[in-house]
Amino acid sequence: MEAFARTGEAIRATNSKLEKTRLLGEYFAGLDDQTLPLAAVYFAARPFADRDQRKLNLGYAVIRQAVCEIAGVDEGVLGESYMRHSDVGDVIEEVLAGHTHPQPTSLRDVHETFVRIYEQRTIKKKAEALRELLDRLSPREAKYIGKILTGDLRIGLRAGLVEEGIAKAFGAPLADVSWASMLTGDLGEVASLARRGELRSAQLRLMHPLQFMLASPEEDAEAIMRRVGGEAWVEDKYDGIRGQLHKEGDRVVLYSRDLNEVTAAFPEVVAAAGAVPHDLLLDGELLAFKDGVVRPFFELQHRLGRKVVSAELLTEVPVIFVAFDLLYLDGRNLLTEPLRERRRMLDDLSLPSPFMLAYLIRALDAVELDRIFEGARARNNEGLMVKDPESRYTPGRRGLGWLKLKKALATLDVVVTGVEVGHGKRKNVLSDYTFAVYDEAADRLVNIGKAYSGLTDVEIAQMTDYFKSITLKDYGRFRLVQPEIVLEVAFDAIMESGRHDSGYALRFPRIKQIRRDKTVREIDTLANVARMHRAFTGDRVQLVEPAQA
Ligand code: AMP
């Protein structure tokens, strides 16, 4: 542990990325076979490898208790120290100075303690195990335990540098190290493989999140056809939550786009996956789906962050998992297989409900592709994903294998009814606009939203003067104005809401332009809004039931 802390301090002391990598490489190269994997994982500020199911989830309370006991101080002392350093590791070093009984401690000893902490069920027992470890370390070594436990070493070692250190230590190509790390989710194993020159034998392991493949934006059918070659595969761009589902034996884990585990929030998907007689890794999108239609994104948000999903919520917001890719099946890594093959295997799985498959249309030229785009626009859907059927799955990259065509969905012409001063540098100008549509039945304007951005500073300044001149009533920050300025407002969705008197609200409204060519008589009606709302909650996207695939 002494050498680990010493290396950490040396890395912290230099700003040169090259020098940090060199120090790390030199340290790794000098370690024995048992210590090397632990050191690699600890330098990534993890008590266990990412793939490891064991998570310590050690709150500050446990650390505080252990440190207070050793130093014989109360919590206030730690609090003051924290105000000075803003780093738990530094607090530990300062508070423990002169209070521990250092003896030589190996990284294997540290590992054993981490396992013990993991196995203990109570905070008291966890703190006890941690106290025993910290007590036999120097304050500087103890500091690094704190840093590992809080998941950030704060020595300027950004993600990726550990991989570079491993490459440097054993003369391996960085690309091989990164690839192996992505497949295994275990930097310790990667370091060992690198030492033995066996990086290329790394196997894809389930139960740790793989980076998602991303798409590059493209707007024109001709350009897309040039990129993907002879054939383009077009899928709807579903507006839900990206999901990655792993199943191994009877265990199922679900990760979201930010690589966090969301298994508990989607029990019906997990249960259905559990019944599939294969080990697999699916990529797809989670959508709220009720009575045969996809529901708007915000309904899905009710399901997120749940540890337990109530029976009511399960019936209120049912979800489906729309699978569009298969990356692993029964021991076979499919990442380097062409999409054509991956999709064939996905179709053959006949996944049970609530799994669905992305609806796939094949286009052979730009004319066909344009026709498909038109169809999607008519359905009012979010956009399209175009994929090259010959492409591999490239985790974490915005490659050219996938292209996205995303249109600002829909716009409304509205009239400004009120204006308000902004915030920050806009605190002296009227930059926040409340706007309305026309309710024909009641023959009145009804507010539907408020937008803050989209105009240039010059435009805002001009509009400020103008709005002052048409102010009906000045309430201080807010002014009611004569409804005559028409805006074209873009947004992502329409939802029912009691916030405005129209009964609707817009998701992410932004001002596209001032429609000086339009008068208030030409703005959108409430009936239009209701119709668009139905389109949003209705069948904007196409799906396939797996059995019919
Ligand atoms: P963006 O967030 O605009 O970069 O678009 C990429 C996102 O679109 C992905 O992360 C997915 O969550 C989502 N997506 C929706 N439908 C698909 C699809 N058919 N294929 C791939 N990604 C999709």
Convert the pLDDT of each residue in 460-496 to its tens digit: 888 999 999 999 899 999 999 999 999 989 887 888 9
**Rounded Cα–Cα distance for residues 250 and 270 (Å):** 10
67 Cα–ligand 1 center, Å: 46
Does residue 53 have a pLDDT over 90?
no
Higher pLDDT pick, 96 / 370: 96
- 358, 377, 407 — which closes off a domain? 407
What CATH number did the domain enclosing 297 receive?
3.30.470.30
Task: Calculate how far, in angstroms, residue 72's C-alpha sits from the geometric centre of ligand 1.
Answer: 54
Q: Which residue has the higher pLDDT, 539 or 44?
A: 44
pLDDT at 304: 82
> Residue range 105-124: average pLDDT?
95
Report the greatest alpha carbon distance in the chain. 84
CB pairs under 8 A, 24+ apart, for 189-193? 189/37, 189/49, 190/40, 190/163, 190/166, 191/28, 191/36, 191/37, 191/39, 191/40, 191/166, 192/33, 192/36, 192/37
* In a shared domain, residues 389 and 417: no
237 is catalytic: yes
CATH number, domain with residue 475: 2.40.50.140
Which atom of ligand 1 approaches the CA of 283 most closely? 21
pLDDT exceeds 60 at position 27 = yes
Using the 3D structure, point to which of 381, 407, 433 is the last residue of a domain: 407
In a domain, 170, yes or no: no
pLDDT for 538 equals 60
240 plus 329 within the same structural domain: yes
Q: What is the mean pLDDT of residues 263-277?
A: 96
Contacting residues for 462 by C-beta, under 8 A, at least 6 apart: none
Q: List, in sequence order, the alpha helices (H) in 409-525.
A: 457-469
What does DSSP assign to residue 351?
P
Residue 548's pLDDT band, with cuts at 50, 70 and 90, is: very low
Q: Which residue has the higher pLDDT, 325 or 218?
A: 325
Q: Are residues 399 and 301 in the same domain?
A: yes
Q: Is the pLDDT of residue 549 over 50?
A: no
Same domain, yes or no: 363 and 419: no
In which domain, by residue range, is 427 found? 410-535
Is there a domain that residue 267 lies in?
yes
Boundary-marking domain end, from 98, 120, 150: 150
Q: What is the pLDDT of residues 183-228, one digit of tens each?
A: 998 999 999 999 999 999 999 989 989 989 988 877 778 888 998 9
Could you tell me if 305 and 430 lie in one domain? no
The predicted structure's pLDDT at residue 492? 77
Alpha-carbon distance of 130 to 92, in angstroms, equals 12
**Do 461 and 394 share a structural domain?**
no
pLDDT at 370: 84
Alpha carbon nearest to ligand 1 atom 23, residue: 237
Whether residues 398 and 424 share a domain: the answer is: no
C-alpha–C-alpha distance, residues 435 and 423, integer Å: 19
Of residues 297 and 205, the one with the higher pLDDT is 205
Lowest mean per-residue pLDDT among 76-85, 308-317, 393-402, 406-415 = 406-415
Report if residue 266 sits inside a domain.
yes
Specify the ligand 1 atom closest to the Cα of 285: 12
Q: Do 445 and 425 belong to one domain?
A: yes
Exposure pattern of 51-61 as b/e (b: 16+ CB <10 Å)?
Answer: bbeeebebeee
| CB neighbour burial string for 73-100, b if at least 16 within 10 angstroms, e if fewer | beeebbeebbeeeebbbbbbbbbbeebb
Q: pTM above the 0.75 mark?
A: no
- 171 vs 75: CA distance, rounded Å: 47
Whether the per-residue pLDDT at 456 is higher than 90: the answer is no
Q: Which of 20, 147, 237, 247 is catalytic?
A: 237
Q: What's the pLDDT score for residue 100?
A: 97
Averaged pLDDT score across all residues of the chain: 90
Q: Both 79 and 143 in a single domain?
A: yes
Whether 196 is in a domain gets the answer no
Position 159 in a domain:
no
Say yes or no: 83 and 221 in one domain: no
For the Cβ of 358 lying below 6 angstroms from any atom of ligand 1, the answer is yes
Does 343 lie in the same domain as 423? no
Separation between Cα atoms, residue 30 and residue 3, nearest integer Å: 10
Contact 357, 323 (CB under 8 A): yes
The whole-number average pLDDT for the span 223-252 is 92
Q: 549 C-alpha to center of ligand 1: Å? A: 21
154-191 pLDDT per residue, tens? 898 876 899 999 999 999 999 999 999 989 989 999 99
- Under the banding of pLDDT at 50, 70 and 90, the label for residue 540 is low
Whether residue 415 is found in the same domain as residue 403: no
CA-CA distance, 301 to 401, in Å (whole number)? Answer: 30
Using pLDDT thresholds of 50, 70 and 90, give the confidence band for residue 298: confident
Q: pLDDT category, 60, cuts 50, 70, 90?
A: confident
Q: How confident is the model at residue 11 (pLDDT cuts 50, 70, 90)?
A: very high
User: Domain for residue 354, yes or no?
Assistant: yes
Kindly give the distance from the C-alpha atom of residue 444 to the centroid of ligand 1, in angstroms, as a whole number. Answer: 40
Say what the pLDDT of residue 537 is: 63
Tell me what pLDDT residue 408 has: 47
Pocket test for ligand 1, best of 238, 320, 360 (most atoms within 8 A of CB): 238
Could you identify the residue written with the tokens 């799994």?
A: 355
Report CA torsion sign: 217, 220, 225, 226: negative
Q: Is 238 in the pocket of ligand 1 (CB under 6 A)?
A: yes
Q: Total structural domains in the chain?
A: 3
The whole-angstrom separation of Cα 284 and Cα 351 is: 13
